[in-house]
Amino acid sequence: MNSIKIIDYQPAHQKHFEKFNRYWIEKYFVMEPVDEFVLTNPEEALLKPGGAILMAEFEGEIAGTVALRKVDDTTFEFTKMAVDNKFQRKGIAQALSHASFKKAKVLGAEKVILYSNSMLTPAICLYEKLGFEHVPVGEPGYNRSDVKMEISV
């Protein structure tokens, strides 16, 4: 039986969304103003402009999250993917990723992009395994980003 359940974000999930993402950002990088805004105001930053946030439950506990930020009518940014440490290596990131592609399609996406950092090797490997392809970075909007990838959905 699959113990992973993907659900839509509710305001009560904000503390998990912030905690999971704040942990990895502060572990490897520095919180940027855009991070603070998105993590403390996800409805304003992501949902109202037409994006989405998904949460993963594992055996009834909130275990991870991923967001889609609307870039334009056919492009969404895959962002703020995080899985709580105690739930890692259980397939949650992969489940969130596949669910986000389905959600992006429902929202009208033809393409999903992401920004990352080359030092996050496990994440980059996951993205490649999912079918993301490397493209030139351009202007990422995050100081830490030196990788851009995209996938057609």
Query: Which residues make beta-bridge pairs with 7?
Result: 55
Report pTM.
0.95
**Domain of residue 91, CATH code:** 3.40.630.30
Query: What does the block give as tokens for 52?
Result: 């989405």
**pLDDT of 23-82, one tens digit each?**
999 999 999 999 999 999 999 999 999 999 999 999 999 999 999 999 999 999 999 999
Distance CA 132, CA 124 (A): 9
What is the number of structural domains in the chain?
A: 1
**pLDDT of 85-131, one tens digit each?**
999 999 999 999 999 999 999 999 999 999 999 999 999 999 999 99
What is the residue range of 59's domain?
4-152
Position with higher pLDDT, 143 vs 96? 96
- pLDDT band of residue 141 (cuts 50, 70, 90) is confident
Distance CA 53, CA 64 (A): 11
Q: pLDDT at residue 1 above 70?
A: no
**Chain centre to alpha carbon of residue 124:** 13
